[in-house]
Amino acid sequence: MDIKQLWKNCLVEIEAGVSKANFSTWFKNTSILKEEEGVIYVAVPNEFVRDWLKTKYHKLISKTIADGYETMRAVEYVITKIEPDRQESPKTNEVQINKELPLKDLYISPEDNLNPRYRFDSFIVGTFNELAYAASQAIIENPGTKYNPFFVYGSTGLGKTHLIQAVGNSIKEKYPNKKAHYMTLEKFATDFINSLQGNKANSFKEKYRKYDLLIIDDIQFIGKMEKIQEELFHTFNTFYESNKQIIFSSDKHPNHIPELADRLKSRFAAGMIVDVSEPEYESRLAILKVKLRELGIGLDQDILEYISSAIQGNIRELEGSLNTIVCQYRLKNRPLTLPEVKNLLKNNIRPKKNVAIKDVVKIVTNHYNLEEASVYEKTRRKEIVKARQVVMYILREDFNVSYPLIGQKLGGKDHTTVIHSYLKIKEDLKNDQQLVQELEQIRVMFK
Amino acid sequence: MRLECEIEKIKNAINQVERITGKNLTLPVLSSILFTATGKSLKLRATNLSLGIEIEIPAKIEEEGVAAIHGSVLSGIFSNVIQNENVSIQGEEGNIIIKTKKSKIKLKGQLHDDFPTIPLVSGKEFEIDAKKLIDGIKSVYYSSSVSDIKPEISSVYIYSNEDNLVFVSTDSFRLAEKKVKIKNLEEIPGILIPFKNVPEILRVFGEISGEIKVCFNKNQISFSSNNTYLTSRVIDGVFPDYRQILPKESKTEAVVLKQDLLNALKLSNIFSDKFNQVNLSIRPKEKIFELSSQNNDVGENKTLLDAALTGEEVELGFNYKYFLDCFQSITTDSVSIKFNQASSPIVVSGVSDPSFLYLIMPMNR
């Protein structure tokens, strides 16, 4: 039976049993909130009503509900907020000339700091993030025990924050007693510094340790902060020992966060480390479609396809481009054509990476501490050969320069030599962790 | 029910609770005061379903019992009975008989079965000196919004910040913040007391000295002293993040005597237009602090004030009423006024008194 209808029927019966004044005072603004395992939750506007219904009308209410709903076991009263009509007040002249203080409504609850906008409903799962998604679902099922800590990394704008906040929001909903808290590392650091200044190191510890789920975003900046690392280490241990879930996000793998203490590295690795990579074409298309549905706007398939092929990588940029188009759409009040879209997006599209071969050589030789000229020389000294091969590999892999051109520019080598070098490095990368890291560091320099 | 008690005590109690009886409510019994005589005391209770109050006074109880008596009738009676002696109250077949040495009054009682209970709040607790609590609320509550459209700002917002209990109110055109130092303060996440209930809280506890126990949860807050228990609904909402709009620095600062400014504002008021606008011009180089206002029907006026000025020149208009309001909360003799751009709020505070802060939005005309 529909619970709304049930309450209506009950009210009719109750109305017959009590005086009109009592009925309109105590039963106005009440409703059935939900039914869970036979317990009926009646929503009431405030504590006065709750207390009085409990003491005076509980029997009557229980009996009336039980008559219409046989599986009822108990009745509970819950105070719910009645949303006032948020109609704009008719603005008087005074309001118009008198500027308001730029107060913003707090959308984010100060207690958990989670943005309610980040939910799994609006989270697109593709091959690029399915592992991270699956892990996060497992955590929601078993917070604190399954994967603890949970470490998500990937470059900017790929939905890390969305994912970890969605975990927070889900856990908050699923376990109302658990206290979740989201913050950036920067917040953690400033809090810590403030507590030191105020001589309140203990209250700082207590503040964080009362949470059941701690989410720290952008942990990569911890590198240079030795004291903070130590504090985080202790906080981490407390959480870990009491089986409380911790979630981190970073734009680098913990092993690549510079100057990160080993004890933290190993602790991060103890749980689950997953990466979020860039979405592929199909995922980008899916993301666009979801965003459009949220905005309530339809765009032609070919336009969507164009956007998803033109804007690669970063989801944030994808959203930005879409917003530009939607804004134009609303302004013009008609669907845009493909050429118009192309014109709009021409600035958003990142130019294909172009790089001077000389620059690559410079960066690589710099990294290996060699003379720039040595790479062009005809020498087989081991360290130079390696640097030269790395240059070739990067030129080919990252910048798609043709083999003959690479050979020609690097001191007139044959294109087969270049192919050999390219394949050799590619092969070595599979086994040589040291090399992987070197390349990682070199690539950072190009960004 | 049969009891005897001091007239003065019951008179005060009735005065306090009568204000909280429900008026214009559909349930008639709410307009009455509930008398409960048990043990060695008489309890008087009233509620309007937003506030609830219970006051206990010592009494000689000869027979325990309960009665509901119309509040305004009772307060009418006791404000006219001026003998200073004992009064006896007696229930008799649904009627109430009030006897003093010289008068005998018979009142029709009401059915007390429908008189509701008052929520007993359980939750976090803290104690605060009554004077501090009243001072905190009084310093800010006039700034809250009177409209019902945004309940979270038609309220007084209370939260803890380190050793301070902070009181804030705003109607989005001005904002008042008062900090009160309290030792060993527990963490208070934020309570919103409905603006409409504030005058009653001030009235009930305004005369009391000593500690008040405050207890609160998500839905309700209670204040209790020795013999008085007052509980109010709280607003379920989030107060705007006002701290981010507090200007951190200022381009111009003026220090003036409070009384000078007050007089000048009152004078300007005569000439202000229907928007209550008063213009302020500050030119530090020429050492000029000038208030001016004009009204096409009345005329115009300019007043110069002695002031210590630093920083850049400023020229802006504001609603003088907002300015006048804050003087009730400033205890020092001189007032500091800080300005930034013409479009950002003016900050008013007492010189060397960091506990009170007042923001006014300028008019943009």
Q: Is the ipTM of this complex over 0.90?
A: no
Tens of pLDDT, residue by residue over B34-61, are: 999 998 899 999 998 889 999 999 999 9
CATH of domain A3-79: 3.30.300.180
Residue from the list A48, A52, A84 with its beta carbon closest to the beta carbon of B148? A84
pLDDT at A87: 45
Amino acid at A89: S
pLDDT over threshold 80, residue A166: yes
| Over residues A78-101, mean pLDDT | 55
CATH superfamily of the domain spanning A357-446: DnaA protein, C-terminal DNA-binding domain (1.10.1750.10)
Q: Is A411 helix (H, G, I), strand (E, B) or coil?
A: coil
Mean pLDDT score across all residues of chain B:
88
pLDDT over threshold 70, residue B340: yes
| Over residues B162-171, mean pLDDT | 90
Tens of pLDDT, residue by residue over B223-251, are: 999 889 999 999 888 888 888 888 888 89
B175-210 in b/e burial notation, b at 16+ Cβ within 10 A?
A: bbbbbbebeebeebebbbbbbbbbebbeebbeebee
Chain A, residues 213-242, CB within 8 A of chain B, namely none
Q: How far is A181 from chain B (nearest CA, A)?
A: 14
pLDDT over threshold 70, residue B365: no
Class of domain B124-244: alpha beta
Residue from the list B118, B172, B277 with its beta carbon closest to the beta carbon of A100? B172
pLDDT at A383: 84
CATH of domain A281-345: 1.10.8.60
Selection from B284, B286, B269 nearest residue B339 by Cα: B284
Tens of pLDDT, residue by residue over A133-154, are: 999 998 888 888 888 889 998 8
Quote the tokens at residue B162.
């380190």
B347: left (phi over 0), alpha (psi -120 to 50) or beta: beta
Are the C-beta atoms of residues A307 and A300 closer than 8 Å to each other? no
Are the C-beta atoms of residues A330 and A295 closer than 8 Å to each other? no
In this structure, which topology does domain B248-360 adopt according to CATH?
Answer: DNA Polymerase III; Chain A, domain 2 (3.10.150)
Which residues on B lie below 8 Å from A97 (Cβ)?
275, 277, 363-365
User: What is the dihedral angle through the alpha carbons of A428, A430, A433, A434, rounded to the nearest 10 degrees?
Assistant: 20
Alpha helices in A75-198 (DSSP H): 93-97, 130-141, 160-174, 185-197
* Contact partners, residue B212, CB within 8 Å, separation at least 6: B127, B128, B129, B130, B133, B205, B223, B224, B225
B149–A87 CB contact, under 8 Å: yes
Q: Is B138 helix (H, G, I), strand (E, B) or coil?
A: helix
- Chain B nearest-CA residue for A95: B173
Cβ count near B145 (within 10 Å): 18
Mean pLDDT score across all residues of chain A:
81
Which residues on B lie below 8 Å from A106 (Cβ)?
238-241
Q: How far is A38 from chain B (nearest CA, A)?
A: 26
Q: Looking at B140-244, which runs of residues are DSSP E strands?
A: 155-161, 164-170, 174-181, 191-194, 211-216, 220-224, 228-233
Instruction: Please provide residue B17's backbone torsions phi and psi, each rounded to the nearest 5 degrees.
Output: -80, -25
Terminal C-alpha separation, chain B? 67
Least confident range of A242-251, B104-113, B282-291: B104-113
pLDDT at B337: 93
pLDDT over threshold 60, residue A64: yes
| Over residues A158-182, mean pLDDT | 87
HSE, CB side, 13 Å, CA atoms: give it for residue A435.
17
Are the C-beta atoms of residues A437 and A256 closer than 8 Å to each other? yes
Tens of pLDDT, residue by residue over B292-339, are: 888 888 888 899 999 999 999 888 888 888 888 999 899 999 999 999
A218: left (phi over 0), alpha (psi -120 to 50) or beta: left
pLDDT at A368: 86
pLDDT at A143: 86
Q: How far, in Å, CA of A275 to CA of A271, rounded?
A: 13
A102–B189 CB contact, under 8 Å: no
Which residues on A lie below 8 Å from B172 (Cβ)?
100-101, 103
Quote the tokens at residue A429.
């990368």
Are the C-beta atoms of residues B222 and B215 closer than 8 Å to each other? yes
Tens of pLDDT, residue by residue over A391-414, are: 888 888 877 788 888 888 888 888
pLDDT at A93: 39
- Chain A nearest-CA residue for B221: A47
Alpha helices in A210-300 (DSSP H): 226-241, 262-270, 281-295
Assess A202–B contact: CB distance below 8 Å, yes or no: no
Which residues on A lie below 8 Å from B143 (Cβ)?
none
| Over residues A186-199, mean pLDDT | 82
Question: Is the C-alpha dihedral spanning B282, B287, B293, B294 positive or negative?
Answer: negative
pLDDT at A112: 79
pLDDT at B137: 94
- Chain A nearest-CA residue for B151: A84
Assess A386–B contact: CB distance below 8 Å, yes or no: no
Q: Using pLDDT thresholds of 50, 70 and 90, give the confidence band for residue A348.
A: low
Tens of pLDDT, residue by residue over B3-25, are: 999 888 898 899 889 989 887 66
| Over residues A171-193, mean pLDDT | 86
Which residues on A lie below 8 Å from B345 (Cβ)?
101
Q: Using pLDDT thresholds of 50, 70 and 90, give the confidence band for residue B176.
A: very high
Q: Is A153 helix (H, G, I), strand (E, B) or coil?
A: strand
Percent of chain A with pLDDT over 90: 2
B241–A104 CB contact, under 8 Å: yes
Selection from B252, B254, B253, B250 nearest residue B307 by Cα: B254
Residue B350 is inside which H or E element, if any? strand B346-350
Residue A47 is inside which H or E element, if any? helix A47-52
**Topology agreement, domain B124-244 and domain B248-360:** yes
Q: Using pLDDT thresholds of 50, 70 and 90, give the confidence band for residue A90.
A: very low
- Chain B nearest-CA residue for A94: B275
**Cα–Cα separations (whole angstroms), residue B301 to B256, B266, B284, B292, B316:** 19, 11, 21, 6, 16
Cβ count near B59 (within 10 Å): 24
CATH superfamily of the domain spanning A120-275: P-loop containing nucleotide triphosphate hydrolases (3.40.50.300)
pLDDT at B102: 82
The domain limits of chain B are 2-108, 124-244, 248-360
Are the C-beta atoms of residues A355 and A446 closer than 8 Å to each other? yes
| Over residues B152-172, mean pLDDT | 90
pLDDT at A174: 84
pLDDT over threshold 70, residue A82: no
Q: Using pLDDT thresholds of 50, 70 and 90, give the confidence band for residue A110.
A: low
Strands of the B65-70 sheet, one edge to the other: B65-70, B32-38, B41-47, B51-58, B228-233, B220-224, B211-216, B124-129
The domain limits of chain A are 3-79, 120-275, 281-345, 357-446
CB pairs under 8 A between A and B: 113
pLDDT over threshold 60, residue A95: no
Q: Using pLDDT thresholds of 50, 70 and 90, give the confidence band for residue B184.
A: confident
A46–B30 CB contact, under 8 Å: no
Q: Does domain B2-108 have CATH number 3.30.360.10?
A: no
A91: left (phi over 0), alpha (psi -120 to 50) or beta: beta
| Over residues A106-115, mean pLDDT | 71
pLDDT at B363: 79
pLDDT over threshold 80, residue A447: no
- Chain B nearest-CA residue for A105: B240
pLDDT at A94: 39
Neighbouring-strand partners of residue B192: B157
Q: Is B67 helix (H, G, I), strand (E, B) or coil?
A: strand
pLDDT at B229: 94
